[in-house]
Amino acid sequence: MGTDGDHLYDRRVPDATDQVKEACGVFGLRAPGHPVSHLTYLGLYALQHRGQESAGMAVGDGTRIVVDKDKGLVAGIFDTHRLGALVGHVAIGHTRYSTTGANTWANAQPVLRAVGDVQFALAHNGNLVNTAELVREANLPVGEVTSDTDLVAALLAADIADTPAAGTGTDLLVEALGRVLPRLRGAFSLVLVDGDRLIGVRDPNGFRPLFLGRLADGWVLASETPALDIVGADLVREIEPGELCVIDVDGPRSTHPFPAERIDPRFCVFEFVYFARPDGQFRGRNVHRARQRMGELLAEQAPVDADLVIPVPESGIPGAQGYARASGIPYADGLIKNRYIGRTFIAPTQELREQAVRIKLNPITENIVGQRLVVVEDSIVRATTLRETIRMLRRAGAAELHLRILSPPYRWSCFYGMDTTDRSRLVAATMSVDEIRD
């Protein structure tokens, strides 16, 4: 993520929160006769939590593809007029949190490419780890590509340009995918549209999620199952690690362009811990129930005599419910979250970071004064938010505080679509559990 390919990427401003950020959400559907731009809008709305910096969609009518994208939230970008201008029967959409590439309009997705008679748009969730190598191999000029998504599109376009069309029926885009995808390393769940078809790809490790859904007369791809629900699609299955799924007038057909030895499922556990909506599911498991189960197991592993169990909202709520149920300690709300601050509040100084936490969370003093509290949080990453949250509870009059964390210590950087590449900022990287407690 910007090692010896630094010209591709900016260095991000540290976030004021204690939470990691996820790369993106992707959505796509092929539904002739339906208002696909409006359905894509709904799908992106359901995936807004996966990225709040920019959003966009590409709509194809069989002849051309039109892209509309901008910085900001889905609801702030698209209105009736903009959606009405996007007419077609196949579409893809994207919500972005940038772990690589600056937060600019140019780096909003989807990206569009045209090579001869071939036109396609692409959106990406994840992060490549061999971008510098790929740029050198392709001999791309410095500055020509500004993100790993842009790089994939450039590689596909170059491959198509170098491949002579061998008569009618030659599928240049799918053939290019078959050659380019094995060269990619890292996390990538992709959705593409080429004017008439919808295409989905998942990397051979399956780091990032991608689901296939069925409409009465159409098909849907989405990062999470709630995006299927909101457009009325039934879940069919998860796209398999290493699968290339092409959806056309005859429905989906799949190939597996990666060598068998590269198929090694390594799903990101943080989807269950924090990223995903609680009403979603992965691998047949409901996220809300999985988080409750984490709390139940935590109560068995780390019991304590206390008066109340309270969550750090919102991702700590199911775990606190599970802890309370397994321990027999009553559950209560002790902190209220301001739902309008979002996940990306930036504060440049420590004083402002502490104020940002108070903007985000406020204590219910009546549930805290004199109480022995079990405080349940999903994870400790940088400890910025959590440290101030504990101070806040102490000032509110808690008699005792017993912190319980649902995930194991977060000790190592992730280079697959999370903004934790600077390991020095991970509190568990340099401290033991006892030191973190102190």
Instruction: Return d(Cα 99, Cα 161) in angstroms, integer.
Output: 30
For residue 173, give the 3-state DSSP assignment.
Answer: helix
What tokens does 329 get?
A: 């300690």
CA–CA distances in Å: residue 308 to residues 181, 186, 190, 337, 377: 51, 43, 44, 19, 14
The contacts of residue 57 (CB under 8 Å, 6+ apart) are 37, 40, 41, 44, 67, 68, 69, 78, 86, 91, 92, 93, 94, 110
Contacts of 186 (CB under 8 A, 6+ apart): 126, 127, 128, 129, 130, 148, 203, 207, 415, 416
Which residues neighbour 136 within 8 Å (Cβ) at sequence distance 6 or greater?
none
- As a whole number of angstroms, the distance between CA 331 and CA 302 comes to 17
> Is 245 a catalytic site residue?
no
Q: Which of 24, 245, 268, 414 is catalytic?
A: 24
Which residues is 363 bridged to in the sheet? 335
109 neighbors 149 (Cβ within 8 angstroms): yes
Backbone dihedral region of 271: left (phi > 0), alpha (psi from -120 to 50 degrees) or beta?
alpha
Q: Which residues belong to the active site?
A: 24
